[in-house]
A = this chain, B = another copy of it.
Amino acid sequence: MAGVNKVILVGHLGKDPEIRVIGNDRKVAKFTLATTETYKDNSGQRVESTEWHNVEFWGPIADVIERFLKKGSQVFVEGRIRTRSYDDKDGIKRYVTEIVGQNMTMLGGKPSGGGGANESPAEYNESTFTPTKANNSYGAKPASRDTPPPFAQADPGEDDLPF
């Protein structure tokens, strides 16, 4: 017990996401995500290195991905690492490591394609579309992400603050 398995990525989609529906109504969106880092090698040369991640999202977020993300889209992804095994065509056990997404935030620029009016497609997590009742089981005003308690917004640029 007592484990944490968290991944945070910011990158661009390598291709349009691939959407599959499994069974009756389980939708999964898969895409590859490139995270590129720049560093200097031993000779002081600036080098670029790209890592490719296999990302998948299940449930309502898959709908959002289908509608708003495409090749080249920049996204923030939060998820967990999962390594699966499978047997390849020669019957040899092989492994693949994927990111099972939990939250997704679209970055840099307005969404395009498919989007209806009055949408705010920028940010999503596993409970985005969960009926309100779902989290209401423990009180009238649960302080979950879905319904934070009211608070006055601090403006950190005010007179008395030394910032």
Contacts and interface: CB of A to CB of B under 8 A. Distances in A.
A139 B147 CA distance: 24
A163 B17 CA distance: 12
Contact of A8 (B8, B26, B139): B8
A112 interface: no
Contacts of A89: 160
Report the copy number of this chain in the oligomer.
Answer: 4
Given A138-B60, A157-B14, A157-B32, A6 B9 contact: yes
A95 B100 CA distance: 18
Contact residue range for chain A? Answer: 35 or more
A116 interface: no
A96 interface: yes
Nearest to A155: B52
Interface of A: 1-11, 14-15, 23-28, 30, 32, 34-44, 46, 48-54, 56, 58-60, 74, 76, 78, 80-86, 88-89, 92-98, 100, 102, 105-109, 120, 122-123, 126-127, 129-149, 151-158, 160-163
10 contacts: A3-B11, A3-B35, A10-B107, A14-B157, A24-B140, A25-B139, A51-B81, A52-B155, A76-B76, A83-B97
Given A96-B161, A127-B127, 7 more contacts: A3-B10, A37-B145, A51-B80, A52-B83, A84-B154, A130-B135, A134-B137
